[in-house]
Structure 1
Amino acid sequence: MRKKLSITATLVCSALAVATTSVPVAAQAQPHHKEYVCRDVSSRGARNTGTAVGAVTGGLLGNALSHGGGKTGGTLLGAGVGAVAGHQIAKHNSTHRECHYEYR
């Protein structure tokens, strides 16, 4: 019985010692401060849409400007150039800057 009481007392004292040593550490923690953080965000969907619209527009324009039997080649060339141009334009226009406060 004495041994059981001794073990219980030791465990309680150990738990109290651990609990009291962790309280000052938490109280000494540095306070959070706000920082203004900005990042560039781009929309992938806008770039895909720009590519598709550019390809269709370029294909139509290439078909309209080509003559005779070269209509297929003009259409494909126009679609390729239009797709690249549409992608680059959409990539440039779809990037915007987002800023917010963060606690650190």
Structure 2
Amino acid sequence: MRNKLFATATLVCSALAVATAVPTFSQAQPERHRVRVCRDVSSRGSRNTGTVVGAVTGGLLGNALAHGGGKTGGTLIGAGVGAVAGHQIAKHNATHRVCHWEYR
């Protein structure tokens, strides 16, 4: 009877030792979360186009609004201001947000 009790106790202790040594699925795999990742994407082509269109439009308006012999100066100033304005408008409109999901 004593050997049977000793064998049963040894078997139970061995089973407990093995059960605690083997990691469960939740311990083996870290918990992952779904995360939304976004970034801003801009296209350079539209910025260049906006700069050119703004310069041409500004030059035409500057020439039309200038008086007398100052038409060349009006054209140059209008082209410069129009180029800067066209570039800024195109830069603002050309940027868009691209998002996707990742598991981390």
Q: TM-score category by the smaller chain? A: 0.5 to 0.7
Could you say which structure has the larger radius of gyration? 2
Aligned length: 79
Where has structure 1 moved over 4 Å in runs of 4 or more?
28-33
TM-score by length of 1: 0.66
**Pairing 1:58–2:38 present:** no
Deviation at 1:35, TM superposition (A): 2.5
Q: How much identity, in percent, do the aligned residues show?
A: 81
Provide the rounded CA distance (Å) in 2 between the counterparts of 1:76 and 1:92: 25
What stretches of structure 1 of length at least 5 have no aligned partner? 1-27
What stretches of structure 2 of length at least 5 have no aligned partner? 1-27
RMSD: 2.0
TM-score by length of 2: 0.66
Provide the rounded CA distance (Å) in 1 between the counterparts of 2:29 and 2:79: 61
Aligned twin of 1:8 = none
Provide the rounded CA distance (Å) in 2 between the counterparts of 1:66 and 1:100: 52
Provide the rounded CA distance (Å) in 1 between the counterparts of 2:98 and 2:77: 38
